Amino acid sequence: MTDHALQALSILRDGSQFQWYVVVLLAFVFYVYTVEAEKRNWSLILAGLAFWGMDWFNEIWNSLVLHFTGYAPVWGAPGDTAFLILVGLNIEIMFMFAVSGVIWSKMLLPDKKTKILGIPNRWFIAVAGSAFCVFVEYLLNSANALTWDYAWWNRGAPWLIFLFGYLTFFIAAFWVFDMKTMKSKLITVGTIWAVDILALILFIPILHWI
Query: Which tens digit of pLDDT belongs to each residue from 141-175?
Result: 999 999 999 999 998 889 999 999 999 999 999 99
One-letter amino acid for residue 134 of the chain: V
What contacts 87, CB < 8 A, 6 or more positions away? 5, 8, 9, 12, 62, 63, 66, 73, 76, 77, 78, 210
pTM for the model: 0.96
| Segments forming the whole domain that contains residue 131 | 3-206
Number of domains in the chain: 1
Neighbours of 89 (CB within 10 A): 24
Sequence letter at residue 27: A
Distance CA 3, CA 90 (A): 18
Angle at 173 between CA 182 and CA 57, to 5 degrees: 110
Give the number of C-alpha atoms closer than 13 A to the C-alpha of residue 87, restricted to the C-beta side: 31
Rounded mean pLDDT of 116-137?
Answer: 97
